[in-house]
């Protein structure tokens, strides 16, 4: 039976879980490294990290690709939380890789240009993590993962994932429980590439998606079919990499 979501309980348990992860998997002064965009997921995750570890053990990484119109939101979040941050512009890295690919005689396509920046951002987070001896936070949520709105080995990667079992609505509720300003929680999610919001691209709302994920109920058969199709197409992103095991090598 579907139980009502208790944001306070979830917040408290998440803070305890993060603290336990670092106690069990890192030295006492190890820092959490997190990509900060100013959107709901990175904002809520960063706030949880600051509450669990203390702001001094959280390092925010701002990664614009050239100019980012809303980067002021990321600066403001770091200021509010009291966490240190660095800005690393990935434009030169993206452009350099694209140029090398084209020099090799391979034409770029839409899939490559959408996913490559996300993968270079994750490369950047792991480079910083290696420098400071940190652990990289994954900031994905259940709803976006469910329909494939994450990049394999890009934003879908990380060392630990506080929010990946919570829907968009649940993440927002946790953010309110943490006391984050509404502009970070209710910011319209968009990929920043096509000028449309995620919901406009999808053709349905996250509220409807969340209800379907949690209850199995979707009032629109066409939307249900679309969600099911997207989920089936993208299941490989949510599962461990398949590995062949030869029978003679089994213990």
Between CA 229 and CA 14, with CA 41 as vertex, the angle to 5 degrees is 105
Neighbours of 224 (CB within 10 A): 16
CATH 3.40.50.620 assigned to domain 7-188? The reply is yes
Please state, in angstroms and rounded to a whole number, the distance separating the CA atoms of residues 230 and 225. Answer: 9
Please list the alpha-helical segments (H only) found in 87-205.
91-103, 110-132, 142-146, 168-177, 182-185, 198-202
DSSP for 21-54, written as a single string: HHHHHS-TTPPEEEE--SSHHHHHHHHHHHHHH-
Per-domain residue ranges of the chain? 7-188
Please state, in angstroms and rounded to a whole number, the distance separating the CA atoms of residues 61 and 181. Answer: 20
Kindly give, in sequence order, each residue whose CB lies less than 8 Å from that of residue 208, ignoring residues fewer than 6 positions away: 218, 220, 223
Please tell me the number of Cα atoms within 13 Å of 235 on its side-chain side. 7
Please list the pLDDT of the chain residue by residue as tens digits (251 residues). 457 899 999 999 999 999 999 999 999 999 999 999 999 999 999 999 999 999 999 999 999 999 988 899 999 999 999 999 999 999 999 999 999 999 999 999 999 999 999 999 999 999 999 999 999 999 999 999 999 999 999 999 999 999 999 999 999 999 999 999 999 999 877 655 556 788 888 999 999 999 999 999 999 999 999 999 999 999 999 999 999 988 877 76
């Amino acid at each position: 039976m579907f139980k009502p979501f208790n944001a306070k309980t979830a917040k408290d348990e998440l803070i305890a879980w993060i603290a336990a992860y670092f106690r069990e998997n890192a030295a006492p002064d190890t820092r959490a490294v997190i990509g900060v965009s100013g959107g709901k997921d990175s904002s809520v995750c960063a706030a949880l990290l600051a509450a669990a570890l203390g702001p001094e053990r959280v390092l925010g990484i701002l990664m614009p690709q050239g100019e980012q119109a809303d980067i002021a939101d990321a600066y403001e979040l770091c200021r509010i939380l009291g966490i240190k941050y660095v800005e690393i512009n990935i434009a030169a890295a993206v452009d350099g890789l694209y140029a090398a690919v084209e020099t090799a005689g391979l034409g770029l396509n839409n899939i490559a240009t959408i996913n490559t920046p996300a993968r270079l951002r994750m490369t950047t987070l792991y480079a910083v993590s290696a420098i400071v001896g940190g652990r990289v936070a994954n900031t994905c949520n259940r709803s976006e993962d469910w329909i494939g709105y994450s990049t394999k080995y890009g934003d879908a990667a990380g060392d630990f994932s506080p929010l990946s079992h919570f829907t968009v609505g649940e993440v927002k509720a946790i953010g309110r429980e943490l006391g984050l300003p509404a502009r970070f929680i209710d910011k319209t999610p968009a990929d920043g590439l096509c000028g449309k919001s995620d919901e406009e691209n999808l053709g349905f709302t996250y509220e409807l998606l969340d209800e379907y994920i949690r209850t199995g109920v979707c009032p629109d058969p066409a939307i249900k079919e679309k969600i099911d199709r997207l989920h089936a197409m993208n299941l490989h992103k949510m599962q461990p990499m398949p590995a062949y095991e030869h029978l003679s090598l089994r213990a």
